[in-house]
């Protein structure tokens, strides 16, 4: 039975690639060229238009392709495809290794063939078994501890440039879901963008997807941050001579960088399957989703409801674990749930799932309603630290967004 064809048929009939992308389905899963072409087309359509193509669109582009009627679940079909692929890859590797020994007597090449075969399983998601026997590999765990002991600042993950955030997360780590929550117009987008800039400066590749800003708005904000120039003067074309020189120099420097920094807006992916597709395409080290509460939930068809956001945060956590990258998302507080202007875990809007699914939750608020050049960053929930607070420099006129240190006092 051709489970690959049944899998793509079921997904097309449901007009959702979310589950498949979460499970890591890629082009390599399809041995039939027609199925592979339809799968690639569906992913591209999703990226360009934010939805999976209808069966009519599939028929118009692939007149001879027949979408099967399928009663089996996607979960069952994925498992069957994985079994088939595993069997084929393992059998091929073993057969080629035996042939290498029998024909040429070359055991080293035979071992190499087997290793490549098992590597192929890992690369394409066909050997992802998470069961662990804790009595095994104890020496490896000791070596891993020694590596952590010698890490700079004790960070196991990617530094964010904010010491308090790094302390709460131990550096952004694979599989982490980090939430930033703040009242509207307080600066959660700016904080996330500054983190993305700092991640990029450390040599990593961030993807920053915003549901609150266009690409052009993100770009001017980022340029102001990186160049340490006035955002207002940049957008109005009134930079000082010194700022123009600095800005031009930073642009020239960016053009020479080898590692990417991707900005995407909401038209690229407004649903989880679109986000998963972006991860597969761009291969980021860290993913930032700004304004996650504005996303559409594919499962319920709803947006900005408790059910929709619960489904979205659960899926975000699964994406972080599946693709083994940290994901940082931002959302809003409800002002009526805030006490005297303070951000707490109880003031997170719409759904408690943000707290339940996150590894770390940060809150951002104004320190004083009459002062706009500082912010207060709070650690609201973290497995690595207790509650913490730190003041931030918040200066759009100079493009500075950082923790206030003793030198600022």
SS (H, E, C) 24-85: CCCHHHCCCHHHHHHHHHHHHHHHHHCCCCCHHHHHHHCCCCCCCCCCCCHHHHHHHHHHHH
Q: What is the token pair recorded at 333?
A: 């507080």
Structure confidence at residue 153 as a pLDDT band (50, 70, 90): low
Mean pLDDT over 217-242 rounds to 94
Its pTM surpasses 0.95: no
Greater confidence, 409 or 285?
Answer: 285
Res. 152: pLDDT tops 90: no
In terms of pLDDT, which residue wins out, 339 or 401?
401
> 67 pLDDT exceeds 90?
yes
pLDDT value, residue 124: 61
Q: How far apart are CA 156 and CA 165, in angstroms?
A: 13
- With a pLDDT cut of 70, the percent of the chain lying above it is 93
CA distance 347 to 336: 8
Helix (H, G, I), strand (E, B) or coil at 403: strand
* Helix, strand and coil in the chain, % to nearest 5: 50, 15, 35
How many other CB atoms are there within 10 angstroms of residue 31's CB atom?
A: 13
Torsion of CA 185, 189, 194, 195, to 10 degrees: 130
Partners of 361 in the beta sheet? 179, 381
pLDDT at 252: 94
Instruction: Please give the residue that has the higher pLDDT: either 6 or 135.
Output: 6
Does residue 407 carry a pLDDT above 70? no
* Predicted confidence (pLDDT) at residue 155 exceeds the cutoff of 90: no
Q: What whole-number distance in Å separates Cα of residue 293 and Cα of residue 323?
A: 22
Per residue in 107-142, pLDDT tens? Answer: 888 888 887 777 666 656 665 555 667 777 788 778
Query: Kind and range of the H or E element at 209?
Result: strand 206-210
Angle between helices 74-104 and 3-14 (to 10 degrees): 150
Instruction: Return the pLDDT at 126.
Output: 67
Q: What is the mean pLDDT of residues 267-272?
A: 74
Q: How far apart are the first and last CA of the chain?
A: 71
Which 3 state secondary structure label does DSSP give 160? coil
Mean pLDDT within 376-397: 91
Torsion, Cα 137 141 147 149, to 10 degrees, reads: -160
pLDDT of residue 148 exceeding 70: no
127 vs 316, residue with greater confidence: 316
135: its two tokens: 């009595």
pLDDT in tens, 187-198: 999 999 999 999
Give me the pLDDT at residue 303, please. 85
Of 180, 189, 198, which Cα lies nearest the Cα of 378?
Answer: 180
Quote the pLDDT of residue 374: 94
């Amino acid at each position: 039975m051709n489970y690959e064809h049944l899998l793509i048929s079921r997904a097309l009939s449901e007009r959702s690639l979310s589950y498949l992308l979460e499970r890591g389905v890629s082009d390599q899963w399809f041995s039939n060229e027609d199925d592979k072409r339809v799968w690639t087309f569906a992913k591209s359509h999703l990226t360009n238009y934010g939805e999976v193509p209808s069966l009519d669109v599939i028929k118009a582009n692939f007149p001879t392709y027949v979408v099967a009627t399928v009663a089996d679940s996607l979960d069952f079909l994925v498992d069957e495809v994985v079994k088939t692929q595993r069997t084929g890859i393992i059998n091929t590797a073993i057969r080629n290794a035996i042939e290498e020994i029998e024909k040429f007597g070359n055991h080293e090449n035979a071992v190499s063939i087997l290793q490549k075969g098992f590597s192929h399983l890992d690369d394409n998601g066909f050997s992802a078994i998470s069961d662990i026997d804790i009595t095994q590999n104890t020496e490896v765990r000791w070596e891993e501890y020694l590596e952590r002991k010698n890490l700079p600042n004790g960070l196991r993950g990617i530094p964010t440039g904010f010491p308090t955030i790094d302390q709460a997360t131990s550096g952004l780590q694979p599989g982490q879901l980090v939430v930033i929550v703040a009242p509207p117009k307080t600066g959660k987008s700016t904080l996330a963008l500054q983190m993305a800039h700092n991640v990029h400066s450390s040599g990593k590749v961030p993807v920053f997807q915003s549901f609150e800003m266009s690409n052009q708005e993100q770009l001017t904000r980022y340029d102001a941050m990186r160049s340490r120039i006035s955002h207002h003067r940049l957008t109005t074309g009134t930079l000082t001579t010194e700022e123009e020189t600095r800005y031009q120099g930073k642009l020239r420097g960016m053009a020479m960088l080898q590692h990417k920094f991707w900005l995407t807006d909401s038209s690229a992916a407004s649903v989880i399957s679109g986000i998963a597709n972006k991860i597969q395409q761009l291969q980021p080290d860290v993913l930032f989703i700004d304004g996650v509460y504005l996303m559409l939930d594919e499962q319920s068809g709803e947006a900005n409801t408790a059910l929709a956001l619960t489904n979205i945060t659960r899926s975000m956590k699964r994406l972080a674990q599946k693709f083994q990258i940290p994901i940082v998302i931002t959302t809003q507080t409800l002002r009526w749930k805030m006490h005297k202007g303070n951000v707490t875990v109880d003031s997170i809007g719409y759904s408690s799932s943000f707290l339940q699914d996150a590894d770390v939750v940060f809150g951002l608020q104004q320190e004083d309603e009459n002062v706009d050049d500082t912010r207060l960053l709070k650690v609201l929930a973290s497995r690595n630290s207790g509650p913490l607070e730190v003041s931030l420099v918040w200066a759009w006129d100079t493009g500075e967004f950082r923790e206030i240190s003793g030198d600022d006092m």
